[in-house]
A and B are shown apart, each in its own frame.
Chain A
Amino acid sequence: MNESTHHDSAQTWQNAWKTRSIILKTALAERLAYRGDFALGTLMRFLPIITQIFLWWAIFQSLSPSAPNSASISGYSFHDMVAYYLLTMLGRAFSSMPGLSSNIAKTIRDGEIKRYLVQPIDFLSFLFWSRVAHKIAYYSVAFGPFLLVFFLCRGYFSAGWPDPTTLVCFILSLLLSFTLGFYLESCLGLVGFWMLEVSSLLFVYMLLQFFLSGHMFPLDLLPEPFRTIVNYLPIKYLAYFPAAVFLGKIQGTALLWDMLLLLFWVAFFYALSRWAYAKGLTRYSGFGG
């Protein structure tokens, strides 16, 4: 009896993974249906690097007109700043979820959500694996350009490669930032069960995220008390945190605590998205659909 239950659950697991891989393949194929637009969009994202580098150069030059290369802002030299910026770009390649929230809200508003109530498939896991596929498609196209940019800018990484532990933490933080980004934006999209239009909400979120994730500038540049507040918010994990880990800004016990806090936020938003979905469905089903 015990054995057969064990066997069954192994089969269920196997089946669940097979479903995920098929979703992955299908979503990947869909992504590649618009090859041209996709490739162009991917490459265009590299353009802002150039303007950012010039901007920071201008800032450092104004700080110390004679020797901009030796000037520093809160411990960041010009080189550190460029390295930081490149790393946040990499972090955002994992954590940003273009179109996720608005698509969830649209699925709810248009009633397409019915499909996930009628078919034996879970809406959120379906979205999760489709998103993994989107990311894989994106990396496969963006890998070359990323490599090239990092190679050309290798001189900005004055400290060289971090030690293996830091590197492992960096990779882990990238993967977790993907999960965090996914569940956080899913929660925003699920607000669509209560509000017909979520675009203003998303706009506010994007704005906050731009400043508070570290996408715009390193968060340790912020004055107190903002620095401490932002440090406890989940948004910093979307861009600042992976970059800071790579650059060795967070180490030892502080790194461990930060990783634990990241895990907490992932679990929190996972649970929140599940709760919001269940609540939202009850509401949707009660109202007529």
Chain B
Amino acid sequence: MTIIQIDQLTKSYRVYQKKEGLREAIRGLFHREYKTVEAVRGISLRVEPGEFVAFLGPNGAGKTTTLKLLSGVIFPSSGSATVMGYTPWKRDMQYRRKFALVMGQKNQLWWDLPAQESFRLHQQIYGIDPSQFQKNLQELTALLDVEKLLGRPVRELSLGERMKMELIAALLHSPEVLFLDEPTIGLDVVAQYNIQQFLKHYQEQRKITILLTSHYMKDVSALCQRVVVIAQGIIQYDGSLNGILDAFSGYKVVQLQLALGQSSQGLERFGEVLKADLPRVSLRVPRPQVSKTLAEILNTYSIDDVAVEDPPLEEVIAKMFHSIANTQ
């Protein structure tokens, strides 16, 4: 049974074109020019229950707009979508009790009060049974290691601690579907890692369906089996993360550790030398020729160690975005 079904969803809106200068500003008072921005241009997608899907794409690609459409915050211009059988923008109270939206830069906790108070309000708003509430709260605070911070005013928490509290607030009512918009934005590496680990664990335990947008490849590679690349408002790729490498990167990186006294001369004929920091040398080798090239190198040079790696994901994805932008 499909839990999220999106068919030919589009969203465009008009924005006022502001021009530079006082003269144009005055003209703008009487005669306004609008431009239509097509944020989402026909997206179709099916997500099965228990999937953890990442939306990747450059800024302004339509990822957040898609999440807003699925949470019912905005109406689409055309197309349809159902989540758990509900049409999101009808904003059915039943639907609202079954999903959660977490936006990395938005705060849903009361700033001057301890998070505990906001949680209690959530319990009431979502009608969570008291014993279930206690159980969920204990489990979530233990997993995120924030038991001691519950009584501290939210304004005194660090960004990472606040994000953890936001996640707890979003998960207290045990949503079946969770939308995460850049949950790790602005966090340091440790906080990012903790949140990743928590999400991974929680999703595996509860088998809930999660849609995530993020700019951090580490989030995506740690969490999501499925990646949907959105750019220019349409889906450019839908598949596994490794599939992106197959589809968009035609080469591998061969790392060599040369034996003592072995010169690196002549290696450039096998492929572009990415880095030469003797005795280590990295070469960029086209995929189909990897085994042949490697055999030749091993025959010709004296090598201590060899590793064949995929190019860094960030690089591949940046290239992909770039090529998409150029073909449009």
Contacts and interface: CB of A to CB of B under 8 A. Distances in A.
A243 B36 CA distance: 55
Interface string A3-43: 00000000000010011001100100110011000000000
Given A118-B101, A120-B125, A287-B13, A29 B113 contact: yes
A26 B11 contact: no
B93 A120 contact: yes
Nearest to A31: B112
B110 A114 contact: no
Interface in B18-40: 37, 39
A121 interface: yes
B255 to A, nearest CB: 47
A47 B120 CA distance: 39
B112 A288 contact: no
Interface string A100-141: 000000000001101101111100000000000000000000
A22 B130 CA distance: 14
A29 B117 contact: yes
B13 A18 contact: no
B302 interface: no
Interface residues of B, number: 36
A112 B68 contact: no
Contact of A117 (B11, B72, B100): B72
B273 interface: no
A118 B102 CA distance: 10
Contact of A33 (B96, B108, B112, B122): B112
B209 interface: no
Contacts, number: 78
A114 B117 CA distance: 21
Nearest to B100: A118
Interface string A165-199: 00000000000000000000000000000000000
Given A23-B121, A118-B96, A119-B125, A30 B113 contact: yes
Interface in B201-221: none
B108 A115 contact: yes
Interface string B139-169: 0000000000000010000000000000000
A33 to B, nearest CB: 4
Nearest to A21: B124
Interface string A192-220: 00000000000000000000000000000
Chain A, interface size category, equals 20 to 34
A164 interface: no
B121 A114 contact: no
Contacts of B120: 22, 26
A289 to B, nearest CB: 5
A15 B127 contact: yes
B97 interface: yes
Contact of B153 (A33, A111, A289): A33
A282 B110 CA distance: 27
Contact of A30 (B65, B72, B110): B110
B93 to A, nearest CB: 5
